[in-house]
Amino acid sequence: MSAASLTIGEAARRTGVSAKMIRWYEATGLLPPAARSEAGYRHYGEADLHTLRFIRRARDLGFSVNAIADLLALWRDRARPSAGVKAIAQEQIANLRRRIAEMEGMARTLEHLAEACCGDARPDCPILDDLAAGDHPPAPQRRARGMTGRGAG
């Protein structure tokens, strides 16, 4: 089907991992150094594409690059115990559940506040009142926030 050896751009197109990221994965050791042509161009074979798709899928499931390194090692070890893989997956599930719960709490609070805010031309605003209230608990947990993405003006 596919050519025996593809350039990085072709490999990127076929796996959904950008050329930039393929180079970065190599530079950080997640991938072994790619084969090079005489001119220095990287070349990828079927096995490399398979690995890249593996990485892509793992990223889509939210695994960190460190976790993927572990998963790749287990994948390559045909004698691995599945317990190791399951442990990594469950750790990731726990991470996701924790972050989801955190954001769910934020969302619910904001929904209550937004519901109480008439949102018209008048200045009275329960949302600002809440933000300005000095009686909020310290909330010592690690935050995973951000991304409203509005201009500061």
Partner DNA sequence: CTTGACCTTCCCATCATGGGAAGCCCCATC
Partner DNA sequence: GATGGGGCTTCCCATGATGGGAAGGTCAAG
Residue whose CB is less far from its own copies, 37 or 66: 66
Tell which one of 38, 40, 47, 136 touches its own copies (CB under 8 A): 136
62 binds its own copies (CB under 8 A): yes
CA distance to 19, 106, 142, 144, 147, per residue, from 132 (Å): 47, 16, 22, 22, 21
Shortest reach from residue 83's CB to DNA, in Å: 23
Q: Which range binds its own copies by CB under 8 A, 3-11, 19-27, 31-39, 126-134?
A: 126-134
- Give me the residues that bind DNA (CB under 7 A), please: 7-10, 18-21, 23-24, 34, 37-42, 59, 64-66, 143, 145-146, 149
What is the sign of the dihedral through the CA atoms of 13, 18, 20 and 22? negative
88 binds its own copies (CB under 8 A): yes
Region class of 33: left (phi > 0), else alpha (psi between -120 and 50), else beta:
beta
Strand-pair category, 35-36 with 42-43: antiparallel
